[in-house]
């Protein structure tokens, strides 16, 4: 058994992660500023990496990481890592969806309630001396069917938070036997027929890229509210906007956008397309800058889960 593993952390995280690994005997170096080209030149010295989303961990990068045994991604998704190449080279990947699922679930509920009760618009109006009551009459969640697409950590946590609202919760997932006491798993056909609210909780994969498009939206029997706390590139924004204009989508709560950089740190360009301009001006849209999983508590939990998974890995090697 190797006694001392070297890890390179390229993104900053809660101190419990690096400190915990050092206490367990790991050597942890930190480099939060060097460009990818510089990191590539030294990555062959390391057994492990700690990343968030600073730059893609692609095939070319991994090919230079000749001693790499694991990568810990402090977050839920792994789309910024070439998973196939990592698997071919026996590099174990750890992520931590358990760390921010509570935050994402609460955030999704909050955005949905803001949307259905016109709270964003009403708050802005009152701040500007406008007092409209009838125009801001809301829509109750009780009695509606909430449909969850993707029933993993995030979908489960969202369904659990819905229990007190007296709603019918259904879920669709590509894997069988995912339903539980919080949501009944249904076929996609039944999902299209029943949903009044659609909440997206899928990872970014080739299958989910641009999944929410005109064809997909047109299959819903009823008009519905749409919540996305997953990945922006799963939605064709132009098609979403057209569906909103047509009344097929009653409103959208979007924590993530198609126009984000892969690092999630900013929008792609200063001049964004017309459909983005529509979103920022529409009354029936609630927006946030990819912060659903971004709480004081989740920062600690994300780091703790990655730390513990790496320690478990060490104990088995």
pLDDT at 317: 85
Give mean pLDDT in consecutive 10-residue pieces for the chain, a chain of 317 residues: 84 96 96 96 96 94 96 94 96 96 98 98 97 97 98 97 97 97 98 98 95 98 98 97 98 95 76 88 96 96 97 92
In order of their start, the domains of the chain are 6-95 (3.40.50.720), 99-287 (3.40.50.720)
Spatial separation of the C-alpha atoms in residues 69 and 86, rounded to whole Å: 9
Q: Is the dihedral of CA 13, 14, 19, 25 positive or negative?
A: negative
pLDDT at 271: 66
pLDDT at 1: 53
pLDDT at 273: 86
> Known catalytic residues?
231, 260, 290
Spatial separation of the C-alpha atoms in residues 175 and 54, rounded to whole Å: 31
Classify residue 43 by its DSSP letter. G
- Rounded to two decimals, the pTM is 0.93
Other beta carbons less than 10 A from residue 132's beta carbon: 12
Q: Are 240 and 227 in contact, with CB atoms under 8 Å apart?
A: no
| CA dihedral of residues 148, 230, 105, 82 (deg, nearest 10) | 110
List of E strands, the chain: 6-9, 27-30, 48-51, 70-73, 92-94, 145-149, 168-172, 184-185, 197-200, 224-228, 249-254, 285-287
């Amino acid at each position: 058994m190797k006694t001392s593993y070297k890890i390179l952390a390229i993104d900053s995280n809660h101190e419990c992660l690096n400190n915990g690994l050092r206490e367990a005997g790991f050597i942890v170096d930190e480099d939060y500023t060097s460009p990818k080209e510089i990191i590539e030149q030294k990555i062959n010295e390391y057994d492990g990496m700690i990343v968030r989303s600073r730059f893609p961990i692609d095939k070319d990068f991994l090919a230079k990481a000749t001693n790499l045994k694991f990568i810990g991604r402090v977050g839920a998704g792994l789309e910024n890592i070439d998973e196939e190449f990592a698997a071919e080279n026996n590099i174990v990947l750890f992520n931590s969806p358990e760390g921010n699922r509570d935050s994402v679930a609460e955030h999704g509920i909050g955005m949905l309630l803001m949307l259905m009760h016109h709270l964003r618009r009403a708050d802005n109006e009152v701040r500007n001396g406008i007092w409209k009551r009838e125009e801001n009459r809301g829509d109750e969640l009780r009695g509606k069917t909430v449909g969850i697409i993707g029933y993993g950590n995030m979908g489960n946590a969202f369904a659990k938070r819905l229990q007190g609202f007296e709603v019918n919760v259904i879920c669709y997932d590509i894997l069988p036997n995912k339903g539980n006491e919080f949501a009944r798993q249904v076929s996609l056909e039944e999902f299209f027929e029943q949903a009044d609210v659609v909440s997206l909780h899928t990872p970014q994969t080739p299958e989910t890229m641009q999944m929410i498009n005109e064809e997909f939206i047109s299959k819903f029997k009823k008009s519905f509210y749409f919540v996305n706390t997953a990945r922006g590139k799963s939605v064709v924004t132009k098609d979403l906007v057209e569906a909103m204009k047509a009344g097929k989508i009653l409103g959208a709560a979007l924590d993530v956008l198609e126009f984000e950089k892969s690092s999630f740190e900013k929008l792609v360009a200063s001049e964004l397309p017309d459909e983005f301009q529509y979103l920022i001006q529409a009354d029936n849209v609630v927006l946030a800058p990819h912060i659903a999983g971004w709480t004081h508590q989740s920062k600690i939990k994300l780091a703790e889960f990655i730390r513990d998974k790496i320690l478990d890995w060490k104990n088995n090697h």
